[in-house]
Amino acid sequence: MKSRDTRINFSADAALHTRGESHFIDDAPLAEGLLYAAVLTSPEAHGKIKNLGTKEAQKVPGVRGLFTSEDIPGENQIGVIIPDEPLLAEDTVDYVGQPLALVVADSEEAAGKAVRAIQLEIEELPPVFDPRKAFDKGFLIVPPRIFSSGDVDSAWEECDVIVEGRAESGPQEHLYLETQGAHAFPLEDGGVKIISATQSPTGVQRAAARVLGLSLHKVEVEVLRLGGAFGGKEEQAVPWAAMAALGAFMSKKPVKLVLHRHEDMCLTGKRHPYSSDFKIGLKNNGEIIAYEITFFQNAGASADLSPSILGRTLFHTTGSYYIPNVRATGISCRTNLPPNTACRGFGGPQAMFVMEAAIFKAARALDVEPAVIQKKNLLKEGDQFHYGMRAHNCQALRCWEAVEKRYDCEKTRKRVEEFNAANPLIKKGLYFMPVCFGISFTNKTLNQAGALVHIYTDGSVSVSTGAVEMGQGVKVKIIQVASRVFSIPAHRIRIESTNTSKVANTSPTAASTGADLNGKAAELACRAIYMRLKKEAADELGKENPDEIEIRDEAVYYQGERTDITWNKLIQSMYQNRINLSAQAHYATPGLNFDKGREKGEPFAYHVFGTAITEVSLDCLRGTYEIDSVQVVHDGGTVLNELIDRGQAEGGIVQGIGWLTVEELLYSEDGRLLTESLSSYKVPDIYFAPEKIEVYFLPDSVNPMGIFNSKAIGEPPFMYGIGSYYALLSAMGAFRPERDFEISAPLTPEKVLLSLYG
Amino acid sequence: MPKTIRFILNDRDMQTSLPPGMVVLDFLRRDQRLTGTKEGCREGDCGACMVLLGELDGDDVRYQALNSCLLPLGDVRAKHLVSIEGLNHPGLNPIQQSIVDEGASQCGFCTPGFVVSLTGFFMDSRDMHIQEAVDEVAGNICRCTGYTSIRRAIASLIEQYAVKLKGFKDRIKSLVDLRFLPSYFLGIAPRLKHLKEMQAEAEAEEKPVLLVAGGTDLFVQKPDVILNEDIKFISSRKELSGINLSHNLCTIGCATPIEDLKNSPLLQKMFPRMSDNIGLIASAPIRRRATVGGNIVNASPIGDMIIFFLALDASLTISNGKNVRRVALKDFYKGYKDLDLHEGEILEYLSFPLPAEASLFNFEKVSRRRHLDIASVNSALYIQKQDGTIDHARLSAGGVAPVPLFLRRTSEYLSGKEITPAIIKEAVRRAGQEISPISDVRGTAAYKRLLLGQLIYAHFMTLFPGIKVEDLI
């Protein structure tokens, strides 16, 4: 199994990466006559633009063009859900870092110098950064949205215990190691070609066409690969690509725009911070009867994907649990921060974090372990979510019980209790974290994909899809699909760059759906050619029924017997006989429907389940801690590539832990990002990441909605990281049993110490 | 400064007249268009730009992995600079293969940096311990894998090769035989010798202007300034590097890399926890460049080495080329980044009296992330005992004042006292009166105030294990 995967991996990108030969956006060969772009951004969080004087800047030697909103040939608008985001600010600025003007010049230095020479006067207006304050003032992105089931208001009467509280979760910088960037080339017919580091080639194409006033067929977007994305290159790759395109279109020269790290950190949006009020009601036996919650989402200055992200928060309000009476209100608040955006989990983690807060507090009120409440309320087969869908093929309890057994949790709990009794200053904490995550774009339209497959006359195969490779292994998975359908080795298959002229109208590679949607489209295209191959082979052999033909390991079999027709020979005959060796196919996820009026329906193709148990050690003298282990049983369906899925799970867990522990973004009072470099924003390093992460894939889980019965893997494991927060809180509780701690992530060593002694 | 810098880049002899203050990262990516070396942060915090630098050591060449974003071109003179491209040969080498096999590369942006760091480990490690290999990549950030697969790749490499690479002699040859390195590495030593001779002739004419030590702060703070300066590297003054004992005094050359302190048997004997303490400062590649003197003159109120040596009553030897003077480290800082150092003077040595027989020393550092992070608060305590009492004490703390702080009054209070919970608590109270922390990205003032108290407790609990926790907190 492993050696086979390794071979497949080798033919994709990993080998190139280890040799430093894979190209990222800043590595592409430089074009003749290339111009470098630099962007003037707002130093103020909110204000009126009084003067944008470009005269001096124009005179800087080497400057080839300087563009403001007035120079935009098309529409100055890149907002995708709501048209509320100009590419370059017009009359007002709404956050520190908002682009105001673009300079293209012969060198990076000249472009930078010109940007500094622009005279900018802004009349300050009062900014708002707190989502609750924005709500009070009525600054909303969209009207509030309410999901409900049962009858919450009367359900409180049935409850023995009711607990209320507030939970805060912080923003998270994606910190893809490759910063944002794009190259743009003017084309002879007035169009542009853009090489972009984006998860959404079609999104870039549409935005650039809109800004330049071009029709879509005059804008070609190509993506080779991304050096990490995590949602941060779904919408937010767009401005830089659109600006590069603007520069190239106006100057008729190729333009490169790649952000430096501190620019990237200051100018781009983050995972949304949420402030939430919750109320939970339970029976004495731990059964959850009612749950009411209001989410205040800090959207930043424009909509970006915030409404959609808020939607997923509402879908995942109850996490892995069945609760009969639910009312969840989502409020997307407009503030003067850079527009917050998609980030692994897409609003789901924020919801599950609060659900666990409610359970943690309820457990304290009932004087039981949180695990008692968690296990008792886990989703069972056929349980109805508050949005109407029922849990199908539900693996929640199986995963939980497999964790208990496989990792001997009873023994671990005893060991932790004994440790805590014996150690006054170091305390250990333990927490179960069950995850249930819905797979599909919640915007039904996006659940479609295309693929284009060619077989060349030497028998080698080219596959194009709309999927973008960003380290998640989608190229390898699609190679596996083609390799399996044609029964040829991986090295004969190449996954092409993602290009809007090869596969059009693509959905972003996001929502964990990349392999499912594009893999299914590739499978359909391969199967279409496969049918023709079988017919051709039958003809060659003088047989009537193509169904008795099979291709296995590059040879044609008839009725199970190997013939002397090889793959190469068959391809040659196809060509000689003028039979089409290419196929295009389209896949649309079946069965999705959701009624936004009633907020009920079946928004997901399926759910991914799993449970993690996390153990931590806390130094109660210094407030420092270590995440000792995370042990998981994960439902990956019939796992398509264990090496890749394990890597996605491990990486997701550590990123999730980072979000809740050490990754802290701090802003000045006037809205400037203070933690704008890797020396002040700390992500997990090899020492901080748990040394022990074990991921066991649940056996005997099938999923016909996924590619070859597998399940999507990108996002769900991120939420296992939530366990680290509550494990730490448990350890703090072991040191200060009398204290009821605030729920406010990230739980930095500072917050730990102030909570223990403050 | 000689206009031409000669060195070997991978297997090519190079000469360039680019500014010596240009960082190697820019030279590789922009000038040479060798794009395997990635730019991730330009401040030594991610490791995506790691290169190897080989230097003659007798007849051998000794290699170290360094961050190319902080490595000036002028400092590769007469050395062997190796980028990821220089490690490739047809097919994958064992490190590359192991990373592929274990799925230890996802998006791949950090991967060349890991390959280079691990190659540095196999070239320079004597013991081949897994923990040492992990420490070698501790300056490499990966956002995709969570490091688990990287740990697996390291474990598998050590399992396969530790025995085959036993013994340090002829390491390069062994690594060439095992296909870790391309064969051109075997011919580097004589080529470097030749370059060294040429350099000696050229150096006779140089006129230095700006002196640079390791540059690990300077190249983060002022890269543009340095690019246009005529610079000279303190590292070229070999006599300023090293750790020596004489007349009850330990003297450390200011150009001594911090990593040398970590590995010094002399210091380890005096301070058994020294290696662990210094392990919390930056990352191995940064510690190889960063110097003791650099940390002192950078004058960060939170500088780890300063806090360490403040408690040891260290003093500095300062010279302007004609006159030499000495100043106590605690008097060296006059205000925020304001030093008792005049135009034309350089720091030559740091020295401190050898700790007395009955003395105890402890260093504490707390940062948001334990490794490769700047402290929120750090502190050191030196205690000389006499029968169950404190003969005298010296307490220092960083992050709690505009300067690295020697807590004079608290130290004086402790001297002559018996060690009791009440005395320790009073010391914490008095320390609180000596400090003036501010809120910044390293923490709020309230936190730093609380944390220093905790670290003082930690000093005593570490040095006097008999103290009961419940009596203190």
pLDDT per position as a tens digit, A229-251: 999 999 999 999 999 999 999 99
What six digits make up the tokens of B90? Answer: 């047809």
From A149's Cα to the closest Cα of chain B, the distance in A is 38
| Residue of A234, A292, A602, A715 marked active site | A715
Q: Write the residue in B137, B144, B446 that is nearest to A686 by C-beta.
A: B137
Q: Residue B355 gets which letter from DSSP?
A: P
Of A179, A119, A343, nearest to B109 by C-alpha is: A179
A686 with B111: Cβ contact below 8 A: no
**Cβ neighbour number for residue A475 with a 10 Å cutoff:** 27
Helix (H) or strand (E) run with residue B221 in it: helix B218-221
Mean pLDDT of A719-724: 98
From A671's Cα to the closest Cα of chain B, the distance in A is 14
Mean pLDDT of B29-55: 97
Mean pLDDT of B27-32: 97
Residues facing B291 on adjacent strands: B257
B106 with A624: Cβ contact below 8 A: no
pLDDT for the residue B216: 83
B454 with A621: Cβ contact below 8 A: yes
Mean pLDDT of B54-62: 94
Residue A191 in this model has a pLDDT that exceeds 70: yes
**Cβ neighbour number for residue B183 with a 10 Å cutoff:** 12
- Dist CA A229 CA A387 (whole Å): 30
Residues in B closer than 8 angstroms to A260, CB to CB, are 42
B370 with A624: Cβ contact below 8 A: yes
A14 with B108: Cβ contact below 8 A: yes
- Dist CA A21 CA B37 (whole Å): 10
Residues facing A195 on adjacent strands: A183, A222
From A669's Cα to the closest Cα of chain B, the distance in A is 12
Is residue B228 very low, low, confident or very high in pLDDT (cuts 50, 70, 90)? confident
User: By CA distance, what is B42's nearest residue in A?
Assistant: A261
CA angle A557, A569, A564 (to 5 degrees): 40
pLDDT for the residue A11: 52
Instruction: Examine domains A274-442+596-757 and A448-588 and report if their fold is the same.
Output: yes
- Dist CA B357 CA B6 (whole Å): 50
- Average pLDDT over chain B reads 93
pLDDT for the residue A2: 37
pLDDT per position as a tens digit, A145-190: 999 999 999 999 999 999 999 999 999 999 999 999 999 999 999 9
CATH 3.40.50.720 fits A448-588, yes or no: no
- Dist CA A488 CA A287 (whole Å): 54
Domain extents in chain A: 31-126+174-267, 274-442+596-757, 448-588
Residues in A closer than 8 angstroms to B368, CB to CB, are 662, 664, 682, 748-750
Residues in A closer than 8 angstroms to B108, CB to CB, are 13-14, 16-17, 22, 225, 227, 471
pLDDT for the residue A26: 97
The CB-based long-range contact list for A554-563 (8 Å cut-off, 24+ gap) reads A554/A459, A554/A487, A554/A488, A554/A489, A563/A537
User: By CA distance, what is B106's nearest residue in A?
Assistant: A471
Of B64, B65, B67, B85, nearest to B26 by C-alpha is: B67
Is residue B198 very low, low, confident or very high in pLDDT (cuts 50, 70, 90)? confident
Q: Write the residue in A470, A654, A757 that is nearest to B450 by C-beta.
A: A757
From B370's Cα to the closest Cα of chain A, the distance in A is 7
pLDDT per position as a tens digit, B360-395: 999 999 999 999 999 999 999 999 998 889 999 999
pLDDT per position as a tens digit, B87-129: 999 999 999 999 999 999 999 999 999 999 999 999 999 889 9
Percent of chain B with pLDDT over 90: 85
- Dist CA B377 CA B446 (whole Å): 12
Mean pLDDT of A283-308: 98
**C-alpha neighbours within 13 Å on the C-beta side of residue B336:** 7
CB B99 within 8 A of CB B114: yes
A621 with B33: Cβ contact below 8 A: no
Is residue A619 very low, low, confident or very high in pLDDT (cuts 50, 70, 90)? very high
User: By CA distance, what is B440's nearest residue in A?
Assistant: A674
Q: Write the residue in A226, A678, A688 that is nearest to B46 by C-beta.
A: A678
Residues in A closer than 8 angstroms to B111, CB to CB, are 14, 17-18, 20
B41 with A261: Cβ contact below 8 A: yes
pLDDT for the residue B11: 98
In the block, tokens 């003037």 appear at A40
What six digits make up the tokens of A280? Answer: 């939970």
Pick B237-472's CATH classification: 3.40.50.300, 3.30.465.10, 3.30.300.30, 3.40.1160.10.
3.30.465.10
Evaluate the CA torsion angle A75, A77, A83, A85 in order and state its sign: negative
The 3-state DSSP class for residue A550 equals strand
The 3-state DSSP class for residue B386 equals strand
**Against a cut of 0.90, is the pTM above it?**
yes
In order of B43, B296, B297, B330, B402, the CA distances from B338 in angstroms are 24, 12, 9, 13, 10
User: By CA distance, what is A472's nearest residue in B?
Assistant: B106
Q: How far is CA A632 from the centre of its chain?
A: 21
Q: How far is CA A567 from the centre of its chain?
A: 39
pLDDT for the residue B471: 86
ipTM over 0.90: yes
In order of A3, A644, B307, B429, the CA distances from A473 in angstroms are 16, 6, 47, 56
Residues in A closer than 8 angstroms to B89, CB to CB, are none
- Relative to beta strand A255-258, strand A35-41 is parallel
B108 with A227: Cβ contact below 8 A: yes
Q: Write the residue in B46, B376, B469 that is nearest to A177 by C-beta.
A: B46
Percent of chain A with pLDDT over 90: 98
Of A599, A673, A578, nearest to A268 by C-alpha is: A673
pLDDT per position as a tens digit, B303-326: 999 999 999 999 999 999 899 999
Domain extents in chain B: 5-193, 203-234, 237-472
Of A680, A617, A747, nearest to B376 by C-alpha is: A680
Q: Write the residue in B41, B109, B451 that is nearest to A753 by C-beta.
A: B451
pLDDT for the residue B222: 80
A684 with B101: Cβ contact below 8 A: no
A685 with B374: Cβ contact below 8 A: no
pLDDT for the residue B388: 80
User: By CA distance, what is B83's nearest residue in A?
Assistant: A20
From A264's Cα to the closest Cα of chain B, the distance in A is 10
Q: Is A410 a catalytic residue?
A: no
What six digits make up the tokens of A69? Answer: 């909103």
A226 with B107: Cβ contact below 8 A: yes
A177 with B473: Cβ contact below 8 A: no
pLDDT per position as a tens digit, A8-56: 445 579 999 999 999 999 999 999 999 999 999 999 999 999 999 999 9
Residue A430 in this model has a pLDDT that exceeds 90: yes
CATH 3.40.50.2300 fits A31-126+174-267, yes or no: no
Least confident piece of the model among A129-133, A669-673, B84-88, B125-129: B125-129
pLDDT for the residue A363: 98
pLDDT for the residue B177: 97
Of B103, B94, B119, nearest to B36 by C-alpha is: B119
Fold for the domain defined by B5-193: Ubiquitin-like (UB roll) (3.10.20)
Please provide the CATH number assigned to the domain covering A274-442+596-757. 3.30.365.10
Residues in A closer than 8 angstroms to B82, CB to CB, are none
pLDDT for the residue A120: 98
Amino acid type, A507: S
In total, the C-beta contacts within 8 angstroms joining chain A to chain B are 235
Mean pLDDT of A208-222: 98
SS3 sequence, A258-318? ECCHHHHHHHCCCECCEEEEEEEEECCCCCEEEEEEEEEEEEECCCCCHHHHHHHHHHCCC
